[in-house]
Amino acid sequence: MAKLSFREALNQAMDEEMARDERVFLMGEEVGHYDGAYKVSQGLLAKYGERRVVDTPITELSFAGVGIGASMVGLRPIIEMMTFNFCILALDQIWNNAAKMRLMSGGQYNVPIVFRGPNGAAHMLSAQHSQATENWFCNVPGLKVVSPATPGDGKGLLKAAIRDDDPVIFLESEIMYNDVGEVPDAEDHVLALGKAHVVREGKDVTLIGYSHGLKAVVAAAEALAKDGIDAEVIDLRTLRPLDMETIARSVRKTHRVVTVEEGWPFGGIGAELAYRIQHALFEYLDAPVTRVTQLDMPMPYAENLEAACLPNARDVIAAARAVSYRT
């Protein structure tokens, strides 16, 4: 396997899909001549030209709409949001058009489009640039939502998202772009959307995470093992649709669940998981499902306060010990 950074893996995915299918093009702020705000699109303009790597004005609503229109007439756009905090300005296009066009056209139009870019905490960029937006998009029927945790998953899931015939929200952690990990050397590394991954087998408690939050989950599982608690770790990979089959299989084995996310607690991904688990698997639970989230407040700027707001391994360990009655 090759060792690549997260940004390099995403770049490879777009490069391979653009080479494979001439209908694929990239559009967004600074994706071309600047090689991307985070250098994820580095080299693509030189290789594919300005017709397929399109720099846009700072107007998310407009270029999201252009991308949706292009997808309706047979192209397969990748729309980069410089940060998903800016996608707030494009929500009318994403929610009212991309998500609903198949239904409202009676199936006459597909919208094969990917909206991708950094999401969540961004390290000292304060409240307006540090929001985890995944639960917003998961609330909208018609959208698929993907949030990878490793370079290998990032590449495989992005390729799958580009090939999908429905709109996909592809959320990348801004503070993971430099992370290095193994990426399969397979000629066409594609991972199925809607399938979770069991990162670590265990029998005492199920820890569920995704994206950057998975780091805290894995670190907690390793620490818990030293304390005699054998944790199973599940990486959701795709948030909508959820892979409840993999989750249910784990819950039937461990009987305890902790969910971990960097989003706010009210109406979060963990809340949905807790409802589904307790509704369908109540008889298998030996403790209530426990959630670990960001604090319910706008993100502070100061580095120490930002760290205090975000979930960490200590929080996950405490929650796992609580559901295991080991406090």
Calpha distance 65→57 (Å, rounded): 13
> 167: cis peptide before it, omega within 30°?
no
Residue 38 CA, chain-centre distance (Å), reads 17
- According to DSSP, residue 174 is labeled G
Place of tokens 């429905």: 166
Burial of 66 (0-12, 13-18, 19+ CB in 10 A): middle
β-bridge mates for residue 80, sequence order: 28, 116
Assess contact for 297 and 309: CB atoms under 8 A.
yes
Active-site choice (60, 172, 232, 261): 60
Calpha distance 235→156 (Å, rounded): 14
Calpha distance 300→18 (Å, rounded): 39
Active-site choice (129, 189, 197, 212): 129
Calpha distance 241→255 (Å, rounded): 23
Assess contact for 151 and 5: CB atoms under 8 A.
yes
Q: Are strands 290-292 and 24-28 parallel, antiparallel or unpaired?
A: unpaired
| 129 is a catalytic site residue | yes
How many other C-beta atoms lie within 10 A of the C-beta of residue 69? 15
Task: Return the structure tokens found at 71.
Answer: 């997808």
Q: Which residues are catalytic?
A: 60, 129
